[in-house]
Structure 1
Amino acid sequence: MVICDEAHRIRRHSIDRYTPREEREDPRPQADEIITAARVPVFLLDDWQSLRPGEVGTAEYLVHRAQALGLKHTLIDLGGMFRAQGSAYFRDWVVRLLGVGNHTPQPWVPDGRMQVQLADTPQEMEDFLKERALEGASTRIVAGFCWPWSKPDGNGELVPDVTIDGWHRPWNVKPGSAVQGAPAADFWATDPRGVGQIGCVYTAQTFEFDWVGVIIGPDLVWQGDGGFRVDRSATHDPELRGKSIDQADIERCVRNAYHVLLTRGVMGVVIYAVDKDTRDALRGHVVETVKHPLPKPMRKIKKT
């Protein structure tokens, strides 16, 4: 048996600069390599967490590859989760809000589990999360990859790349860099010194926090017909900057990235959109704002 976790990261093929020329001409699907490596291959995945154009791992794709190889398959839907207080309704709301899989957005209706609120400014978001931290909650702010990600400056300090109307904060430490007093990129989500730094999808994926603040950047804006539009010119993600990348791949990766960011919270999420029209539109989908007092705190579901 081979168990492949994070199977949504499966690529179209495994070729790289070291691949022999004859294999480059007709590359074998990477999924086929894994499927044929064992009598029983098992894939664990989330259809909406692939983040790069070359990642194609979805349940539908893997079923197709199994059928192409003439093999039987069993598809099992894991409906439960620990994030969002176990709220399947919240997960469905996020998918619909982002238009992932051609779903239609719908207003958020409190379900007694997950809390969803809006902030009018990033400072409101930060102040709100600081209050939750004083109550003992774990918190982080994450954002779409819409600002440059600089190496430490000449003094060895983080550069405040994420700038919004006078509010500015640094990304977490860039992989491969070291900054005194700040955790390395791999520990940003778990080290208390990571608070105050902004995480992107690549450092936040697979982690979770009691409360997460999500900054929706200018790469995802609300359009008049009632849904989000992806602006590829606004992304700073090096994986999505190439002119040769299909618009369909850009759409999928940007929407999936925000799906990952919005689902990092265990107890609640606070959303701020850089674009004013998007903020106005979101008020019709999320009624509660951070200016309103919180209801009685809910009991946190712990993993066992």
Structure 2
Amino acid sequence: VKRLLLGDPLPWRGGDGTDDEPFELHYTDSPARMEKFLQAKLDAGASARMTAGMCWEWTDTSGTVPDVAPEPGWARPWNADDTHDTPGVPKRYYWATDNGGFGQIGCVHTVQGLEYEWGGTIMGPDLTWTGTTWNLDRNHVKSKAIRIDSDTTLTQRLANAYGVLMTRSIRGTILYSTHPTTRQLFADLGIPKL
């Protein structure tokens, strides 16, 4: 993940066959497919969560308004804050551990210091692969990070945030990007497609 987000990606090597439970890495071209895969893991008794880069507005704090909309026909709410009273929706501190947290999308501020077995990371149009390097699109940065004047520094901060999101799961991660060239990078690196 570190090399990937530094712009010097290495091919994925999915274990040597000696580990009883090797770490799994996949990518998909559909957030719905990612969610279905993670829901199956959840149904089988594992913990699973979805996260996203902060490139969608956060209009609601109840965990019920589908602000994260990476493609037409699929949208989910951000995780709730700690002041809401929505039944069945965990407060922010319990998003990763409460059963009701699966329906919301976590952000870099929610997941730090937490781990779950299976994770899905949605990369938005704020940081995309050009074929040779990462490209910043300031129009899609919806966090306080937009205050950073230097494009180089902001690109590094976004890459760091995605790195946190991609490394929270301990058994497997599914990557999705809204950007076709970024998904092609995942394919070119040998990451299996769901």
Normalising by the residue count of structure 1, what TM-score does the alignment of the two structures yield? 0.59
Q: Answer yes or no: is 1:115 the counterpart of 2:33.
A: no
For residues 159 and 190 of structure 1, the distance between their equivalents in structure 2, rounded to whole angstroms, comes to 21
1:228 aligns with 2:134: yes
The alignment partner of 2:37 has SS state of helix
Q: Is the 8 A contact 2:63 2:80 kept in 1?
A: no
Relative distance call for 1:282 and 1:158 in structure 2 (3 A) is same
Q: AA paired with 1:258?
A: Y
Is 1:161 equivalent to 2:70 in the alignment? Answer: no
Rounded to whole Å, the distance in 2 between the matches of 1:177 and 1:245 is 34
Are 1:281 and 2:188 an aligned pair?
A: no
Letter in 1 for 2:48: T
* CA apart distance, 1:175: 4.3
Task: Look up the SS of the partner of 1:261 in the other structure.
Answer: helix
Listed one character per residue, the Cα deviations across residues 87-131 of structure 1 (whole Å, up to 9, x for unaligned) are: xxxxxxx011111xxx62111011253110011100000000111
Residue of 34, 52, 69 corresponding to 1:125 = 34
Is the CA contact 1:116–1:286 (under 8 Å) kept in the aligned structure 2?
no
Q: Is contact 1:115–1:268 with CA below 8 Å preserved after alignment? A: yes
- Name the aligned partner's letter for residue 210 of structure 1: E
Is residue 2:149 matched to residue 1:240?
Answer: no
Deviation at 1:133, TM superposition (A): 1.3
Which of 261, 267, 273 matches 2:165? 261
Deviations 1:187-224 (A, max 9, x none): 11111111111001100111111000010111110113
1-structure distance, mates of 2:113, 2:102: 18
Whose radius of gyration is greater, 1 or 2? Answer: 1
- Cα distance, 1:157 vs structure 2: 6.8
Question: Which letter maps to 2:10?
Answer: Q
Measured after TM superposition, the shift of residue 278 of structure 1 is 1.4
Does residue 204 (structure 1) correspond to residue 108 (structure 2)? The answer is: no
Contact 1:150 1:174 in 2 (8 A): no
Number of equivalenced pairs:
188
Task: Tell me by how many angstroms 1:146 deviates.
Answer: 0.8
Gaps of 5+ in 1: 1-93, 291-304
Report the RMSD for the aligned CA atoms in angstroms: 1.7
1:144 Cα deviation from its structure 2 partner? 0.4
Q: Identity rate of aligned residues, in percent?
A: 37
- 1:222-245 deviation line (CA, Å, top 9, x unaligned): 1132x32222221111x2122x63
Return the alpha-carbon distance in structure 2 between the equivalents of residues 131 and 265 of structure 1. 16
- Aligned AA (1:267): R
What secondary structure is seen at the aligned counterpart in 1 of 2:66?
Answer: coil
Larger strand percent: 2
The amino acid across from 1:228 in the alignment is: W
Indicate the SS of the match to 1:215: strand
Q: Specify the code of the residue in structure 2 equivalent to 1:241.
A: I
Residues 1:165 and 1:95: Cα distance change in structure 2 (over 3 Å) = same
Q: Is this contact kept in 2: 1:107–1:286, CA < 8 A?
A: yes
Counterparts of 1:205 and 1:199 in 2: how far apart (Å)? 10
Q: Is the 8 A contact 2:136 2:151 kept in 1?
A: no
Q: What one-letter code is carried by the residue in structure 1 that aligns with 2:106?
A: G
Unaligned runs of 5+ in 2: 17-21
TM-score in terms of structure 2 length: 0.90
Distance 1:286 1:231, change over 3 A: farther
Cα 1:275–1:192 shift into 2, 3 Å: same
CA distance in 1, matches of 2:57, 2:149: 20
Q: Which residue of 2 aligns with 1:56?
A: none
**In the alignment, what sits opposite 2:45?**
136
